[in-house]
Amino acid sequence: MNVLGIETSCDETAASVVVDGVKVLSNVVASSLKEHAAFGGIIPEIASRRQIELIYPVVQMALNKARVGFDDIDALAVTHSPGLMGSLLVGLCFARGLSRALNKPLIEVDHVQAHLYANFLKLPKQPKETAGTATLPAIGLVVSGGHTCLYKIKDFRRFESIGQTRDDAAGEAFDKVARILKLGYPGGPIIDRLAKGVFSTAIRFPQADLKGSLDFSFSGLKTAVLYYVRKHQLDKDFSAAQVACAFQKSVVGSLVEKSLLACQRSKIKILLIGGGVAANSRLREQMQAQAARSGITVFFPPLALCLDNAAMIAGLGSVVASALTGKGKFGILTQRF
């Protein structure tokens, strides 16, 4: 089954062709990030206007790279939520129109849940031992600019929410702290890069104490960084890199602690990570090391599939399409998942 995926939940315009829910034939992503950088965040109108211009060329490029045509596509998958309303409408309207024009079924997919499916995809030239080897049931952590949440996953049609952020998402906190430190946007890659150069720091920032809960909170941490910078930024030994390092340690500590606690409570030994912050080097290092001590196997997507992409949409859409059809052959329909 060849599934064409379309993703337009934020500033990216993405399209991908995935075979049988696993093999990625193409994964094209066009971003308007540079146009938002001057504002320190995503401007919804800029994002949706660029997506209107880019969506057809991006879809055509994805087909060309996969060496298939519209007639070779068995089904379409598109993000239905969550995301920026204008951006979502661009992708949804395009996909629904294309579905009817081609008389092909359309699966509408949850963007956050699709991030976890990225662990099951195989990219071209990806080593076999690292590709698509994750299994279910599993605990899933999605950590990005807009979301920080935990799921218990029995199968890819049953996601049970077991934890979420009560205020800022982890990626949002990275962006806000980068703004406090005047580092630029987006903040995640910059802070990660700065923190790598710090071998030790005496600075300590708190983790939210939500006893017994699998929820997250990063607002207080962000405020603690703000107060520290205001108090010490004129000190001779003030170091933005050390502040970045201490902040990152606190965020990662919370993510690791809650994720492993969820695994222990559920007695599940598989942990899937997804979302843009899944590319963070300290999170990868600490999660792998601490999970190993508890006998938990952790899966991270390839870096190319951590950020928003359409391969994860096509992959999860394939699972739904197969479940609906058995052999994958059915008439035109729209299925929201």
The pLDDT of residue 331:
40
Instruction: Say which DSSP state 165 is in.
Output: B
Q: Judge if 145 and 89 occupy the same domain.
A: no
Mean pLDDT of 37-46: 85
The three-point CA angle 14-17-23 to 5° equals: 120
pLDDT of 246 over the 80 cut: yes
**pTM for the full model?**
0.92
* CATH number, domain with residue 240: 3.30.420.40
Rounded CA-CA distance 242/267 in Å is 37
The pLDDT of residue 212:
87
Residue type present at position 207: Q
The pLDDT of residue 131:
57
Question: Count of domains in the chain?
Answer: 2
Dihedral sign (CA 194, 197, 203, 209): positive
pLDDT of 330 over the 80 cut: no
Q: Judge if 240 and 326 occupy the same domain.
A: no
Residue 131 forms part of a structural domain: no
Look over the chain and give the mean of its residue pLDDT values, rounded to a whole number: 92
Contact 145, 215 (CB under 8 A): no
The pLDDT of residue 283:
98
Residue 133 forms part of a structural domain: no
Q: Judge if 311 and 295 occupy the same domain.
A: no
The pLDDT of residue 327:
44
Residue 18 forms part of a structural domain: yes
248 vs 326 pLDDT, higher one: 248
Mean pLDDT of 5-19: 97
Per residue in 128-166, pLDDT tens?
Answer: 555 557 899 999 999 999 999 999 999 888 899 999 999
Find the domain containing 210 and state its range: 138-301
Tokens 């049988």 found at? 20
Instruction: Label residue 102 by pLDDT band (50, 70, 90).
Output: very high
Rounded CA-CA distance 11/114 in Å is 17
The pLDDT of residue 219:
95
